[in-house]
Amino acid sequence: MPKVAVIIGSDSDREAVSGCLELLERFGIEYEFRMISAHRTPDLLREYAIGARERGIEVIIACAGWAAHLPGVIASYTTVPVIGVPLDSSPLCGLDSLLSTVQMPPGIPVATVAIGKGGARNAAILAAEILSIKYPEISEKIEQYRESLRRRYDSSDK
């Protein structure tokens, strides 16, 4: 059963989130991947967000560019933690998306990571860290991942 939902607002966002999906797989975290637009399919998004917890979703990663309303709209319909990934798909290179994602009104939080592909990867790591509170096997995989990062940097000094 999927623990994480990764949602993109547009088909053009797929490539930007590939690293996120790869890391979730590396951590052994089952996920569902959907394309749902806050603007073009608002009723579907509402239904999806409202039913997320009931379907076993424990963290939602919402990736969007331009106005980037996707993470905030999802957060308005669920108490499942939402991680927003602003994407750099607009003429403003993601600054508009970052501001839309990070500036949520008090009471409806969205955790926000960096713009673009790096942010998408960090969203997977943050989701894994949230889940690791409940699932020790995920915690172990995060430790292994961090150790692999340390080894990579240690070997680059030689």
Counted residue by residue, the chain has a size of 158
Query: If you average pLDDT over residues 126-143, what whole number do you get?
Result: 98
Is the per-residue pLDDT at 155 higher than 60? yes
State the Cα–Cα distance between residues 94 and 1, nearest whole angstrom: 33
- CA–CA dist 12, 94 (Å, integer): 14
> Which residue in this structure is represented by tokens 């379907």?
55
Predicted confidence at residue 156, as pLDDT, reads 65
SS3 155: helix
Task: Tell me the CATH number at 79.
Answer: 3.40.50.1970
Q: What is the pLDDT of residue 71?
A: 97
Q: Model confidence over 56-67: pLDDT tens digits?
A: 999 999 999 988
Q: How confident is the model at residue 153 (pLDDT cuts 50, 70, 90)?
A: confident
Could you list the residue range(s) of the whole structural domain that residue 73 is in?
A: 4-156
| 76-122 confidence digits (pLDDT tens) | 999 999 999 999 988 889 999 999 999 999 999 999 999 999 999 99
Query: Is pLDDT at 158 greater than 60 in this prediction?
Result: no
Tell me the pTM.
0.95
